[in-house]
Structures are given as structure tokens and as C-alpha cells.
């Protein structure tokens, strides 16, 4: 079965655009223009030149020798941690800001949870001289002060969302409200493969530069484009979608998606959406999400802020549904151990999100001749405080 999006934005049973009528014009404008713009030579030239000279792409595909020896396979790390601002998120914000400019927009809004997407958005707004407003839950602003200040240094306005639990979903609601009131001059940059169509596919295509590069780099190093396994962590699923994209329909490549099990799958404190979730609508698309019997969204938990999301992008819900993806869930504690292990084995301190993907290497069955590409989505600088609190090193 071919993995692809249909005209209405569905991957199998999941996706679509479930939005209030007031948002229809904004979404239609984007849907009717994004492909034409993305496929134009002018767009491609600007996108690739910024990816190269500003983001620092191509990111290396690094053969992790000591880790390979330890786990008995050939393990390559795709070094998204070396991107400007420390993670893959900037691939998407660069793409969307160029798109916004071509659509004649003057102002950018975004939502952010831990602040990583907010920082990546504030960065590209500074780069392009665009006005930037980032909505962030008041509780998250308190928890993530350094990122709030980073956004402010970059010239963005950070607006607290004071409704509900004052976290990511409330910030998203606030951003959507603002978009409805300012449709003509404003573009809303969503940070993962979530939201109403066309966002999930659009974001995946901006991130697909990851697997495009892996193919070339693996060809140089191994004489073939396809590894046996690709492993990536999944919050909303954008780094995983980018790493899987050009392999969706290469049947010989196993796609391994790693979610956060938090304190344990049955602890009530996790973000293991595919295991615990049921179909529902979240932020404009039909997907799997963690919810109560009567459909209330359950607050997720993960030690890594980037995986702390109650849903999953519709493409991942589909990969799970049809069995194309293999899904694992890793506990806080095992991710922390894996993060410290990579630091000692390879001299790379990973983001705690990425450490979930690393920990899954212990769980996945593979052969010693297998080539594994693990997408190292980000670096651990932002997580220093969590590492320090955790201790044990």
C-alpha cells in the first residue's frame, strides 16, 4: 500500500481539515498555493541556499563507531543536532517563512510549548525582518524562561495564554483565534506535522530534506541509498516524517517511531499516543489522541518537552494503522540513561527527545549486518537543567 496524502489531506483514515468556518479562507489560501510556490524554481533556490548557508546543511551522516560496536549493527546518526538553533525545527520555519513572504504576508504568529518552535520561528522572522508574535501557555512561560528570553532577544513578542491548563493546547487555541481575526496579513507557522491540511504534508515536505540527504550520504558511504532501519522519536512527528519521507514506499526499509512512555504506559503519566490513543479530532485533523471516555484530551507527560503532546501527526497514525511503521514507547528513565550513554560513547550530548530514539535501539530486533540510521533530532544544551536534576552521571 502506497503511503501518500490524498487531495483532501487524508492519509488513509487520518488527516483532513476539521476547522471552524471562520478559518476556511486562511486554510484555502494556503492549500491552493503551497504546492505551486514550493515547486517554483525561485522558491527552491532561496530555500536551499538558506538551508546551506544559514542552517548549515547538509548535516553530517556520522558513523557512530563505538555505539555500533556496543549494539552490534552499523549505526549512523543523522546530525540534526548540528542545525542552527540546535534542532531540525528550523528546516520547517525557513520553508514556511519564505512561503509566507511569497503569499505577501507581513506578520507571523506561532504557538509554542517548550519554546523550541517559538525560538525557531523568532529566528527566521528576525532573518526576514517580519513581525513575530508567539503564543505560549503562562505555565510554560514560567517553566521555560530561557527560551522566552531567547525569543525576546530575537525581537519576538511572547504573549501568555491564560485559559485552561495554560499550556500548549491553550497557546494553540489562542494562535488560531488570532489568525481568524487577522487573515489577510498574517501567516501561522505550525511547528510539526499536525494541524489541518495542508500543514501536515507541507511540514513533512520541508523536513523531507533529511531523508533526501540520508539517501545521498548513504550511497557515498555504503554504496546504496537504503538502510535497513530508520529510527526517529515522535512528538507531533516532524523529524520522523522528514527522516521517513523518501522511505515511506521503500518496503525493505523498516520505519521505527519512538514515543514517550513517560513514567510508564499505564502510569497515567505518558505520551504514548499510538498505544493509549483513540481516533479523534485535535487541532484541525483526525488522528489518534489520548482522551477520556467522553472525549476530553488527557494531559500528556514526558520528561522531554518536545514529546509532551497528546496526539500524533495523521501520517503517523496511518503508518501505525496499516502496520508500515513499528511503534515503540520509551520511559523517561531509559531515555535519560541513553542520553548519558551517547555522551560517553560518542561525545555527543543529545536532546532528551532524541535520547528516546537512542533508547529504542535496545528494544528493536535487528541483525548484526543491518544498517541503522538514527535521526538525532537535536542537541542537549537546552536540556542541561534536566540532566543536572536527573544526575546519575
Ligand X SMILES: *Cc1c(COP(=O)(O)O)cnc(C)c1O
Q: What angle do CA 143, 377, 59 make, to 5 degrees?
A: 135
Q: What angle do CA 177, 182, 186 make, to 5 degrees?
A: 105
Of residues 74 and 300, the one with the C-beta less far from ligand X: 300
Residue 306 contacts ligand X per CB under 6 A: yes
Name which position in 68, 192, 270, 291 contacts ligand X (CB under 6 A): 192
Residue 338 contacts ligand X per CB under 6 A: no
Binding segment (CB under 6 A) for ligand X, from list 1-9, 131-139, 234-242, 245-253: 234-242
Which 9-48 residues touch ligand X, going by CB under 6 A? none
Residue 375 contacts ligand X per CB under 6 A: no
Residue 239 contacts ligand X per CB under 6 A: yes
Backbone angles phi, psi at 17, to 5 degrees: -135, 95
Residue 383 contacts ligand X per CB under 6 A: no
Binding segment (CB under 6 A) for ligand X, from list 93-101, 209-217, 230-238, 257-265: 230-238
Min dist CB 69 to ligand X, Å, is 26
Name which position in 272, 353, 358, 360 contacts ligand X (CB under 6 A): 353
HSE (side-chain half, CA atoms, 13 Å) at 26: 24
Min dist CB 377 to ligand X, Å, is 3
Binding segment (CB under 6 A) for ligand X, from list 104-112, 229-237, 279-287, 324-332: 229-237
Torsion angle defined by CA atoms of residues 10, 12, 18 and 24, in that order, rounded to the nearest 10 degrees: 20
Min dist CB 15 to ligand X, Å, is 16
**44-49 contacts at long range (C-beta below 8 A, 24 or more positions apart):** 46/98, 47/94, 47/95, 47/98, 47/206
Min dist CB 332 to ligand X, Å, is 15
Closest-CA residue to 375 (of 194, 241, 246, 204): 241
Can 377 be counted among the known catalytic residues? Answer: yes
Catalytic residue among 80, 111, 259, 353: 111
Strands of the 107-112 sheet, one edge to the other = 157-161, 131-137, 107-112, 186-189
Whether the CB-CB separation of 259 and 273 falls below 8 Å is answered with: yes
Residue 87 contacts ligand X per CB under 6 A: yes
Of residues 180 and 380, the one with the C-beta less far from ligand X: 380
Whether the CB-CB separation of 204 and 193 falls below 8 Å is answered with: yes
Residue 238 contacts ligand X per CB under 6 A: yes
Name which position in 196, 200, 237, 277 contacts ligand X (CB under 6 A): 237
HSE (side-chain half, CA atoms, 13 Å) at 268: 1
Q: List Cβ neighbours of 327 (8 Å cut-off, separation of 6 or more).
A: 257, 258, 259, 274, 275, 320
Query: So which residues are the catalytic ones?
Result: 89, 111, 377
Kindly list the residues in this chain that would bind ligand X in the complex (CB under 6 A). 87, 89, 116, 192, 233-239, 306-307, 351, 353-354, 377-378
Amino acid at each position: 500500500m502506497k503511503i501518500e496524502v490524498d487531495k483532501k489531506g487524508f492519509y488513509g483514515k487520518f488527516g483532513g481539515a476539521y476547522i471552524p468556518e471562520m478559518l476556511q479562507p486562511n486554510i484555502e489560501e494556503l492549500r491552493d498555493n503551497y504546492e505551486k510556490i514550493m515547486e517554483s524554481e525561485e522558491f527552491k533556490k532561496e530555500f536551499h541556499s538558506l538551508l546551506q548557508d544559514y542552517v548549515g546543511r547538509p548535516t553530517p551522516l556520522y558513523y557512530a563507531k563505538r555505539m555500533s560496536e556496543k549494539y552490534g549493527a552499523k549505526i549512523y546518526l543523522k546530525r540534526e543536532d548540528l542545525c542552527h538553533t540546535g534542532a531540525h525545527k528550523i528546516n520547517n520555519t525557513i520553508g514556511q517563512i519564505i512561503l509566507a513572504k511569497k503569499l505577501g504576508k507581513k506578520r507571523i504568529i506561532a504557538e509554542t510549548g517548550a519554546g523550541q518552535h517559538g525560538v525557531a520561528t523568532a529566528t527566521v522572522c528576525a532573518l526576514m525582518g517580519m513581525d513575530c508574535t508567539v503564543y505560549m501557555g503562562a505555565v510554560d512561560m514560567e517553566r521555560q524562561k530561557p527560551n522566552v528570553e531567547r525569543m525576546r532577544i530575537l525581537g519576538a513578542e511572547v504573549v501568555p495564554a491564560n485559559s485552561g491548563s495554560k499550556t500548549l493546547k491553550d497557546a494553540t487555541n489562542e494562535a488560531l483565534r488570532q489568525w481568524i481575526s487577522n487573515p489577510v496579513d498574517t501567516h501561522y507557522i505550525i511547528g510539526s506535522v499536525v494541524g489541518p491540511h495542508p500543514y501536515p504534508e507541507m511540514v513533512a515536505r520541508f523536513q523531507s530534506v533529511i531523508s533526501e540527504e540520508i539517501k545521498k550520504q548513504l550511497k557515498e558511504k555504503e554504496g546504496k541509498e537504503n538502510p535497513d532501519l530508520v529510527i526517529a522519536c515522535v512528538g507531533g512527528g516532524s523529524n520522523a516524517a522528514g527522516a521517513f519521507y523518501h522511505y515511506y514506499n521503500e518496503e525493505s526499509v523498516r520505519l521505527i517511531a519512538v514515543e514517550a512512555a513517560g513514567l510508564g504506559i499505564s502510569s497515567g503519566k505518558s505520551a504514548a499516543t499510538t498505544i493509549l490513543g483513540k481516533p479523534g479530532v485535535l487541532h484541525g485533523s483526525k488522528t489518534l489522541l489520548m482522551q477520556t471516555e467522553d472525549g476530553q484530551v488527557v494531559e500528556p507527560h514526558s520528561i522531554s518537552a518536545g514529546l509532551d503532546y497528546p496526539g500524533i501527526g495523521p501520517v503517523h497514525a496511518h503508518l501505525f494503522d496499516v502496520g508500515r511503521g513499528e511503534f515503540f514507547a520509551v520511559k523517561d528513565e531509559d531515555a535519560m540513561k541513553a542520553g548519558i550513554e551517547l555522551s560517553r560513547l560518542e561525545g555527543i550530548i543529545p536532546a532528551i527527545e532524541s535520547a528516546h530514539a537512542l533508547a529504542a535501539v535496545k528494544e528493536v530486533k535487528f541483525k548484526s549486518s543491518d544498517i541503522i540510521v538514527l535521526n538525532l533530532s537535536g542537541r542537549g544544551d537546552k536540556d542541561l537543567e534536566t540532566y543536572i536534576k536527573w544526575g546519575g552521571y
